[in-house]
Amino acid sequence: MITFITGNKHKVIEAESIFKNYDIKLEHIDLGYMEPQGTLEDVALFGAKYASRKLNKSVIVEDAGLFIRALKGFPGVYSHYVQDTLGNQGILKLMEDVDDRYAEFRSVIGFCAPNSEPKIFLGKVNGLISTEERGNLGFAFDPIFYVESEGKTFGELSTEEKNKFSHRKNSLNKFIKWYASEYKE
């Protein structure tokens, strides 16, 4: 059993779908703590350590962001805030007349057990910012994140399709491999 600390039900659905392939049960707790300012890694390290100490159990947390090269990595660590304020249409407006549409989603899993220091696991997926929203699946920036190999945006992919290669899949896979081979409670 892994305890996943998040307030985002969409992340829980994606994680459960990935963990079931490894016969690992996921417990979800929404702890609602203040995140520090900093990198995705800083947030994941802090959140995992805080939650593990508060609950006195092993936990994972995840922080993710959309990093757009032409916008110098924006929105990056501010992705949640930017999604709530500018939304997809705001990002598309910022990208009008921009030729370089390269972007990547990054996901950092933070794991911590009581009385230990946290570990982090980074996953990425490359894509492009589309010129319009496409699809109504997924959440947040998914309808504007185009994956060339699929010929679709994340918003056009089911959870199962997205979980074959997403940033969250990549970070969770790294965590699961480490957890299964290295970690003993």
CA–CA distance, 47 with 52 (Å, rounded to integer): 8
Note whether 2 and 51 are within 8 A (CB).
Answer: no
CA–CA distance, 70 with 97 (Å, rounded to integer): 11
Q: In sequence order, what are the residues at sequence separation of 6 or more whose Cβ sits closer than 8 angstroms to the Cβ of residue 161? A: 150
Helices (H), 4-131: 9-19, 40-55, 79-85, 87-94
Choose, from 30, 63, 84, 100, the residue flagged as catalytic. Answer: 63
Whole-number Cα distances in Å, 111 to 58, 75, 131: 7, 25, 37
| 63 is annotated as an active-site residue | yes
Catalytic residues: 63
